[in-house]
Amino acid sequence: MKTARINEIAPIEVVDGELQWRPVRRTLGIEAFGINAYTADAGQLVVEEHDETGTGAGHHEELYVVITGRATFTVDGESFDAPVGTLVFLDDPTELRAARAVEDGTTVLAIGGTRGEPFRVSPWEFFFAATPARKAGRYDEAAALVQEGLERYPGNPSLLYNLARLEALQGRPEEALAQLRLALEEQPRLREHARTDSELDSLREDPRFSEAVGPPEA
């Protein structure tokens, strides 16, 4: 048996610092289903805008539970109030969802899995988990976590892109460009992000970077 309090699980700033992720599943070692918590103060993001169809997603059904505070959810353009105790169940992976806290100290628990399939950890969780090591400059440690994800999801473009960022931060242009090229070939919409990603700055003078990223969209 294991026990934990959500507010004792150290939050990790993800999504460029806009979201506070508390890794419940990893902390408790849960392998049967996905479960994580997100915390925010009033006006802050408590569920990032996303659907479950991207290359970093698990293609899960998701249940969100507001366990403290109050949030405003927006699902496919429809917004609604979600006070403490609200359950928001999304069985369609294509539904675009997001939420912002209305009160300080809002916590939303997210539970997910793919119907009819054994649970698999979503690709995003590996690069989220690598964030503290990346921010601390422990790039080899961060890369090992991303590589762990690639062992489960070979060729996943979101994981390859994040590995390219780590290689670039370590001054390994050949490895970074190789990973980046593979990621952008598989997921062209990452090109727009790559054009402004500061963690790829060390590659910008290399003509191979411009060739991989291509011209800005009109």
Name 182's Cβ contacts closer than 8 Å, sequence gap at least 6. Answer: 155, 157, 160
According to the model, what pLDDT value does residue 214 have?
84
Name 168's Cβ contacts closer than 8 Å, sequence gap at least 6. Answer: 176, 199, 200, 201, 202, 203
According to the model, what pLDDT value does residue 216 have?
73
- Sheet with 106-113, strands from edge to edge, namely 12-14, 19-22, 34-40, 106-113, 61-68, 87-90
Rounded CA separation 120/198 (Å): 31
Rounded CA separation 110/64 (Å): 5
Tokens 């006070």 -> residue: 83
According to the model, what pLDDT value does residue 9 have?
97
Q: Going from the N-terminus, what domains does the chain have, and what CATH number goes with each?
A: 6-113 (2.60.120.10), 123-212 (1.25.40.10)
Backbone torsions φ then ψ of 96, nearest 5 degrees: -85, 125
Q: Give pLDDT < 50 ranges for the chain.
A: none
According to the model, what pLDDT value does residue 217 have?
66
According to the model, what pLDDT value does residue 52 have?
95
Please report, to the nearest 10 degrees, the dihedral formed by the alpha carbons of residues 64, 8, 10, 90 taken in order: 0
CB 36 within 8 A of CB 62: no
According to the model, what pLDDT value does residue 218 have?
53
Rounded CA separation 210/174 (Å): 14
Rounded CA separation 102/44 (Å): 8
